[in-house]
Amino acid sequence: MKILLFGKTGQVAKELCNRPNVTAIGRDKADFTKPQKIIEIVKSTDADIIINAVAYTSVDLAEEEFELANIINGTTVKELAKVSASRNIPFLHISTDYVFKGDGNLSWKTSDQTNPQNSYGKSKLIGESGILEAGGPHVILRTSWVFSSHGNNFVKTMLRLASNNNELSIVKDQIGGPTCAKDIADALWKIASDFYAGNGITGIYHFSGKPNASWANFASEIFSQTHQDIKIKQILTKDFLTKAKRPLNSRLDCSSLRIDYGIKQPEWKKSLTNVLANLK
């Protein structure tokens, strides 16, 4: 199985780069602001599977740079999906819970109506729509709250802030499933392997860690596992102003991924233990 991976430096991309028969292409050779270059790469590839781990992920900055976010997360993804479909190469793509409105307290199902509330979510939904329009074999894997031992993420931010503070204010009314980048990479690998074996099922799937938690819960577990006595002041989203609106409900129903691919939700606390060990 030969995999063409777009992305080298992102959290999930790094987890995929070291796997066998993966050709990873970084920004120097695959600039997602230039769709034609991406098309040319796919036209000449001999890969069996294409995985896209490239994304514009600066949620707040996307409010000011929507055109750029739209090109990277939307337009180029659409063109990538079209050329992949023309060659009948399965295309695996990472998306986000931000495509939903983010209200209520039920886990979002893959069939639920999308209604993104910020520019980042809108740009990701444009990419999803482009993949569906392309009509080729594909999997869109929506995930949430990604963390790892590399890149920028909540775990590393908490550890950095804790080094200079004894008390931190953390949001308590946003609920979701923290998801380790390695677990996402493992899920993508299983899906790719099934496609290579002729057993891949095209569709949109959800994947996140369990159990669901608040950001305050997540922070508490980080400090517990690192044996730090940090006081957490639990605050509401309305008291923590950001340029982009954040969803209060990021819960994802991952049942269809388990049914179709046998992939179970990972326990994020166990994954966190491994990430913290790597950070040491």
Residues recognised as catalytic: 120
Kindly report the three-state secondary structure assignment for every residue of the chain. CCEEEECCCCHHHHHHHCCCCEEEECCCCCCCCCHHHHHHHHHHCCCCEEEECCCCCCCCHHHCCHHHHHHHHHHHHHHHHHHHHHCCCCEEEEEEHHHCCCCCCCCECCCCCCCCCCHHHHHHHHHHHHHHHHCCCEEEEEECCEECCCCCCHHHHHHHHHCCCCEEEEECCCEECCEEHHHHHHHHHHHHHHHHCCCCCCEEEECCCECCEEHHHHHHHHHHHCCCCCEEEEECHHHCCCCCCCCCEECECCHHHHHHHCCCCCEHHHHHHHHHHHHC
Cα distance from N-terminal residue to C-terminal residue, the chain: 34
Sequence-ordered list of residues with C-beta below 8 angstroms from that of 159, at least 6 positions apart, any chain: 222, 226, 279
Map tokens 């991952």 to a residue: 254
CB 234 within 8 A of CB 164: no
Alpha-carbon span 148 to 20, nearest angstrom: 21
